[in-house]
Amino acid sequence: MEHNIYMRKAIELAIENVKVGGGPFGAVIVKNGLVIAEAANGVVRDNDPTAHAEVSAIREACKSLGTFDLSGCVIYTSCEPCPMCLGAIYWAHIDTVYYGSKAADANNIGFDDSFIYHEIAKPHPERRIKFIELLPNEAINAFKAWDNLDNKNTY
């Protein structure tokens, strides 16, 4: 029942966003029954290709809670997350995703993310983006510097 309330809020954010010229996507993040963040797609409004509803909601939730770790939070998104948002959800340690529409529904109205899933699964030379290794023997020095620290936490 409460799940429906949060999902309806995410859907409402998506519909309201369309009215102001944004993409039809909304997301809500909830922790212990409290809404921590709400966001709609802001790619065009903010000139930010990473401002998908889920990424923006994660950033807002982290700001609100003062942490980069959203363990124990649940995300309600009006549409199944794209690979970028899915990556962000994993890095944020969110462990449950409620979604409304499917990625295929988004594809039907012109928002296609399936190509990214296909691209990510391919080896570098077969991708449409060029991947070129450069100065690996110098780049490794950054990892050595980190590895030499006394106190280090990965995240």
Whether 16 is catalytic is no
Find the shortest distance in angstroms from Cβ 148 to a second copy.
Answer: 9
CA 12, CA 120: separation in Å to the nearest integer? 32
- By the rule CB under 8 A, 67 interacts with a second copy: yes
Applying the rule CB under 8 A, the residues between 3 and 62 that interact with a second copy are 3-4, 7-8, 10-11, 14-15, 18-19, 23-26, 43-44, 46-50, 55, 58-59, 62
When binding is defined by CB under 8 A, the residue of 2, 32, 34, 154 that contacts a second copy is: 154
> Position of tokens 């649940």?
74
CA 29, CA 128: separation in Å to the nearest integer? 34
30: β partners: 35, 74
Sign of CA dihedral 150, 133, 115, 21: positive
Applying the rule CB under 8 A, the residues between 89 and 128 that interact with a second copy are 89-102, 105-106, 108-112, 115-117, 119-121, 128
Find the shortest distance in angstroms from Cβ 20 to a second copy.
Answer: 12
